[in-house]
Amino acid sequence: MKANTLSKVVQYRGTELNTKGWQQEAALRMLMNNLHPDVAEHPEELVVYGGIGKAARNWESFDAIVRSLKELENDETLLIQSGKPVAVFKSHTNAPRVLIANSNIVPAFANWDTFHELDKKGLMMYGQMTAGSWIYIGSQGIVQGTYETFAELAKQHFGESLKGTITLTAGLGGMGGAQPLAVTMAGGVCIGIDVDESRIDRRIETRYTDVKTDSLDEAIRLAEKAKKDGIALSIGLLGNAAEILPEMIARGFTPDVLTDQTSAHDPLNGYIPTGMTLETAAELRSADAEEYVKRSKASMAKHVSAMIEMMDKGAITFDYGNNIRQVAKDEGVERAFDFPGFVPAYIRPQFCEGKGPFRWVALSGDPEDIRKTDEVILREFSYNTHLCNWIKMAQEKIQFQGLPSRICWLGYGERARFGKIINDMVASGELSAPIVIGRDHLDSGSVASPNRETEAMKDGSDAVSDWPILNAMINAVGGATWVSFHHGGGVGMGYSQHAGMVIVADGTKDAEERIERVLTTDPGMGVVRHADAGYDLAIQTARDKGIKIPMLEG
């Protein structure tokens, strides 16, 4: 069965089309890429990352999506409802080829119970952020954001780098697996706990983690020695975080930096309760989901309580976007929100300038195409030393997973400029095939998520989700190749709404115009959203760049 289904995932490469145009081809290749065995965490279940974030609702839907994309005309638009293709309408050539709505539930019903009920009936799937919107690029997609976070943390607390510090975290999954690499890139030592050995092995194979151990004592010994010697080192430690943190406290160990990226946003599928193996957890999950969730939440409460204890002992502690504080708070941990989320603590100023996890993918499959675009970044953005350092480090340390791709945080103005350059390079033949340009939903103007991207907004507008809806609509109007609107990504059902966009640079004049429009409105929404909330940097950016905001004073 497994072999059968996976054989449907075909990795198309080169310049030959399997569809009626490069826009459809891009959607097809990116869907397949999301499920590439080197990219997806559980491709045989259509699961890409982030707990049960899927690319299609089931294999029948997958087949129908592939068929539809292959037949789709250049003036048609395919509609996807929670991973299932539901309609093809005639639109026009500059309209999106695909519109996607995933996991959306009417607000009063928007919780995991309703979701699981609908999921069981075959009416819904969990799209996470880039899983159901076909722009996941493996762990690289998050590495730079994670690096930006740790680099900013280092700047705020330790001078310029993490050298001579130990960061403790848990969760070495699709996204969390970027943490050890980002910490070592910032010069530090990382202990990354994961309860699933295969996840640690995968991070070692892809060079995101240096060594592994199942001994807590050995992990502490290795980490303290590297810290003393000022050496960057990442250690994968096998175990359950909710058990190991209290043991560390008992041994008198306090890390310098502390966070967590287990899939706590999904207590049923993303978090392993204490006292269980992966096997016993799987048995309980299918036999008694309610009991599983109860144990899982109780374990998260222990986990967060231990984090607070370590914070009190001096560890710089932050939430890394998995909603674990909310679960602990609901379980009665009064001080759960005593440590901040990573966005207000380290990232928001970047959002004010429309900066976020911009990415591009070589549809040719040829790494040389990405190398050439890297060179452009180094040349065109040479004034941005931090960005250029990132590109050089990425060239050296990032192993491509699936289609070659690159991520870098570009802001308003920069994205449109770079997009045009890429399109010109495709037109001139310098690049061997079109390039897909997209981003994470975790971006400056595309998310409403009060425990994450919009935590502690200056004007209290944390829960206002008009912004991502406007983001999706303006990007669709501008002619993005596909646009998505999801619920529950990152932090789980009920806690977020967010939009995605992807646009193809196929070298045509039409594409150039679409790129100019969409890569302006998309980061523009980030600047506008933060200017509206009263952030001076966003207001200044809007003024400097001439973004029209009708009610901006002065």
Do 262 and 214 contact (CB within 8 A), yes or no? no
Site for ligand NAD in 305-334 (CB under 6 A): 320-322
Nearer to ligand NAD, 267 or 419 (CB): 267
Q: Which of 170, 182, 431, 547 binds ligand NAD (CB under 6 A)?
A: 170
Residue with tokens 């570009």: 410
Q: Which of 19, 25, 30, 51 binds ligand NAD (CB under 6 A)?
A: 51
Tell me how far, at minimum, the Cβ of 325 lies from ligand NAD, in Å: 12
DSSP 3-state assignment of 65?
Answer: helix
Do 136 and 49 contact (CB within 8 A), yes or no? yes
Structure tokens at 3: 């072999």
Closest residue to ligand NAD using C-beta atoms: 173
Q: Which residue(s) pair with 435 in the sheet? A: 362, 505
> Helices 289-312 and 241-250: crossing angle, nearest 10°?
30
> At 234, phi and psi to the nearest 5?
-120, 135
Residues sharing a CB contact under 8 Å with residue 73, sequence separation 6 or more, in sequence order: 20, 90
Q: Which of 85, 138, 176, 494 binds ligand NAD (CB under 6 A)?
A: 176
Q: Where does this chain touch ligand NAD (CB under 6 A) — which range of 97-105, 191-199, 210-218, 469-477?
A: 191-199
Nearer to ligand NAD, 22 or 208 (CB): 208
Residue 224: count other Cβ atoms within 10 Å of its Cβ: 13
Q: Which of 72, 142, 151, 416 binds ligand NAD (CB under 6 A)?
A: 142
Nearer to ligand NAD, 75 or 196 (CB): 196
* Binding track over 486-505 against ligand NAD, x by CB under 6 A: ----x---------------
Do 49 and 40 contact (CB within 8 A), yes or no? yes
Q: Which of 63, 196, 424, 516 binds ligand NAD (CB under 6 A)?
A: 196
* Binding track over 260-279 against ligand NAD, x by CB under 6 A: -xxxxx----xxx-------
Tell me how far, at minimum, the Cβ of 179 lies from ligand NAD, in Å: 9
Residue 550 burial by CB count (10 A; 0-12/13-18/19+): exposed, middle or buried?
exposed
Rule CB under 6 A: is residue 138 a binding residue for ligand NAD?
no
Tell me how far, at minimum, the Cβ of 486 lies from ligand NAD, in Å: 12
Tell me how far, at minimum, the Cβ of 390 lies from ligand NAD, in Å: 16
Nearer to ligand NAD, 322 or 405 (CB): 322
Distance between CA atoms of residues 511 and 522, nearest Å: 16
148, 193, 131, 143: which is closest to 167 by C-alpha?
193
Nearer to ligand NAD, 327 or 542 (CB): 327
∠ at Cα 416 (535, 390), nearest 5°?
Answer: 75
422, 260, 457, 493: which is closest to 351 by C-alpha?
457
Tell me how far, at minimum, the Cβ of 187 lies from ligand NAD, in Å: 21
Tell me how far, at minimum, the Cβ of 532 lies from ligand NAD, in Å: 23
Q: Which of 43, 96, 127, 171 binds ligand NAD (CB under 6 A)?
A: 171
Pairing verdict, β 211-213 and 233-238? parallel
Residue with tokens 């499920």: 35
> Helices 367-380 and 385-397: crossing angle, nearest 10°?
160
Q: Which of 127, 174, 413, 438 binds ligand NAD (CB under 6 A)?
A: 174
Rule CB under 6 A: is residue 213 a binding residue for ligand NAD?
no
Rule CB under 6 A: is residue 195 a binding residue for ligand NAD?
yes
Q: Which of 33, 209, 240, 317 binds ligand NAD (CB under 6 A)?
A: 240
Residue 211: count other Cβ atoms within 10 Å of its Cβ: 14
Tell me how far, at minimum, the Cβ of 57 lies from ligand NAD, in Å: 19
Active-site residue flag, 388: no
203, 199, 47: which is closest to 128 by C-alpha?
47
Distance between CA atoms of residues 203 and 183, nearest Å: 14
Distance between CA atoms of residues 538 and 533, nearest Å: 9
Tell me how far, at minimum, the Cβ of 19 lies from ligand NAD, in Å: 29
Distance between CA atoms of residues 434 and 373, nearest Å: 12
Tell me how far, at minimum, the Cβ of 94 lies from ligand NAD, in Å: 32
Q: Where does this chain touch ligand NAD (CB under 6 A) — which range of 78-86, 150-158, 195-203, 305-313?
A: 195-203
504, 431, 486, 554: which is closest to 83 by C-alpha?
486
Residue type, 177: G
- Tell me the number of residues near ligand NAD by CB under 6 A: 35
Q: Where do contacts with ligand NAD occur on this chain (CB under 6 A)?
A: 41, 49-51, 142, 145, 170-176, 193-196, 199, 240-242, 261-265, 270-272, 320-322, 342, 442, 490
- What are the catalytic residues? 408
